[in-house]
A and B are shown apart, each in its own frame.
Chain A
Amino acid sequence: MTDHPYKSLPDKAFWRRSVSAPEIGDVDPVGVFDLKITPETKVATAGSCFAQHIARHLKSSGFDYYVAEQGHPLISPGVLSAHNYGTFSARYGNLYTARQLLQLMDRAYGRFTPAEGPWIDPDGTVRDPFRPAIQPGNFVSVEEMEADRKQHLAAVREMFETLDVFVFTLGLTECYRSKEDGAVFPLCPGVEGGEFDPDKYEFYNQGVEDVVGDMTEFLARLREVNPKAQVILTVSPVPLMATAEPGAHVLSATTYSKSVLRVSAEMLRKAHDFVHYFPSYEVITGAYNRGAYYARDLRNVTENGVGHVMGLFLKYATGGTPAAAPRKAEAPQEDSFLKMSQSFVEVECEEAALDRG
């Protein structure tokens, strides 16, 4: 028998040994992840819905979950949380696309001032088009919205300049943008505020070159203001709520979107030694769990799934042992699955507004 390269590979390189044979909770799809985080490391988060889970677990795991925009201490903690202070490291809401992230940075540093004006609701209250669901009850005036946005962008600058690690969850490739200046919105205008006007807005579905290009620019600007910053990329396992890609089925559109994001993450990781990839996408979507990490809507992620991801994250990032990852297989058809489904964490997801009818 001849020798060959596969003979010397570790178990994780083989499907049977590392995916199909182990118990669900033992599957560990982490490839290369050598970033270490200590309790003193300032970890900031941004991204799509799934990033909220990461933020929540970081908060409860003894990490220095960095919140640059905390809200005023006169406000009760419960209200601050309900009003999206601390949901992420600054009050930007969900950043679904790489372009949103890049434009956020450019807006924060005055390199980009979108032409889009404030969105006024029928009751006269005001929304920020770039975070339309950030303020429950909306802003009472354009002046208040603009003052809050100015404060928000200052917090974003502070966050970028002083964080140690930035965890960004790539969520979507589909977006709506202004025809005038290319400003992208987290939600299609008209879904959660604003009014859809086909003469003003257009659908755009990013490809790999867009995502890699946007993220490469973002990474360069981040390192400009914070040369020691490390970046962890993840891909959200949450499928699209709806697709606007002409003629597309939402399942195929999801596959396209997540594939683009996963390829982009890998290209970025290989191109930059300060960029790391953490496979939360694989933990949740991998066939090894037979769908057990999705709730009944096949979209939201169960608490057990999040626990598995974060257990692995803590294991690798801290060198410690994994937290509460499930040890027993839970088949989707079992009652335990139904119970788990019911206990899934209902992340406040602006995107859900798309399906409100």
Chain B
Amino acid sequence: MTSRKILVVGNSHTQMVAKAEALRKEGPDYVSKGDVTVRWLKTQRHGDTPIEQAMEEIAALGPDDLLVLTRLGTLHNVLGLFVHDRPYVILRAGQKPQDDMEGYEVLPVATLRSSLAEAISKETLLREMRDAAPCRTIHYSSPPPKRELRSDGKLRTLDSGEQVRMKFSDIWTRLAFWNIETEVANEFLTEIGIEICPVPPKAFDPDGFLAEPFCGSDATHANQRYGARLLDYFESL
């Protein structure tokens, strides 16, 4: 009897799963519950697997196998990780405005939702992969934001050669962005018929940030412990 295949395909957030699986295999008590393969889709700068190859591997899965995708959930980092030249504030339901909002622009939640939904609706590869897969397909989004970031920003080099420090957005803006994007992404996934893999239990802190034990070493990724929780979930399905 061949073991069940679990194929994980997507962006850089595949790597915590890859690392977790590698560490597990090294452990003395390792018992295989499935044949886990992780594919980081190739982009211009990162990744290891061309889309065509990933599509072939997806098509080769059997009906009892599991396809795990991770593509959505990165916009909150692209758009909201750093302080914008035009400071803004997102007031989620139940959130009181800060005392001094002078100079901050209100970014209505419904407007932000629509903009994120518009961007997510352009995602076509998920549909193609869903259609190519002969098996159950699930998706996990990028992890919640970290409460504390280890520096106050990142140095970026402009075309002129000048280096500027991009400051990180405040924690509540980053959290609001992630929450809204996750809601929108989940609506999209439901609409296109892909199951949603939830954030692993206890990976949140009480305010909704990524709990410290699950934080990766950079500003946006979770670690292998988070990846291991995801693996547990995949194998439980």
Contacts and interface: CB of A to CB of B under 8 A. Distances in A.
Interface of A: 71-76, 78-80, 82-83, 124-125, 135-141, 143-144, 147-148, 151
A76 B108 contact: no
Contact of A74 (B88, B92, B110, B114): B88
B37 interface: no
B79 interface: yes
Nearest to A148: B106
A75 B107 contact: yes
Contact of B111 (A75, A141, A147, A151): A75
A327 to B, nearest CB: 40
Interface of B: 79-80, 84, 86, 88-89, 91-97, 101, 105-115, 118-119
Contacts of A139: 108-110
A144 B113 contact: no
Contacts of A76: 115, 118-119
A176 B93 CA distance: 30
B7 to A, nearest CB: 33
A143 B94 CA distance: 8
17 contacts: A74-B112, A75-B111, A75-B115, A79-B114, A80-B111, A82-B114, A83-B111, A136-B111, A137-B111, A140-B110, A141-B95, A144-B106, A144-B108, A147-B89, A147-B97, A148-B108, A151-B106
Given A75-B112, A137-B111, A143-B91, 6 more contacts: A75-B115, A83-B110, A124-B93, A135-B110, A137-B110, A140-B110
Which of A75, A76, A80, A148 has most chain B Cβ within 10 Å?
A75
Contacts of B106: 144, 147-148, 151
Given A82-B114, A141-B93, A141-B95, A147 B107 contact: no
Contact of A83 (B94, B108, B119): B108
Which of B97, B110, B119 has most chain A Cβ within 10 Å?
B110
B88 A144 contact: no
A74 B114 CA distance: 12
Nearest to A147: B106
A31 B112 CA distance: 47
Contacts of B115: 74-76, 79
Contacts of A75: 107, 111-112, 115
Given A73-B86, A74-B79, A136 B114 contact: yes
Contacts of B96: 143
A141 B114 contact: no
Contact of B94 (A72, A79, A141): A141
Contacts of A71: 111
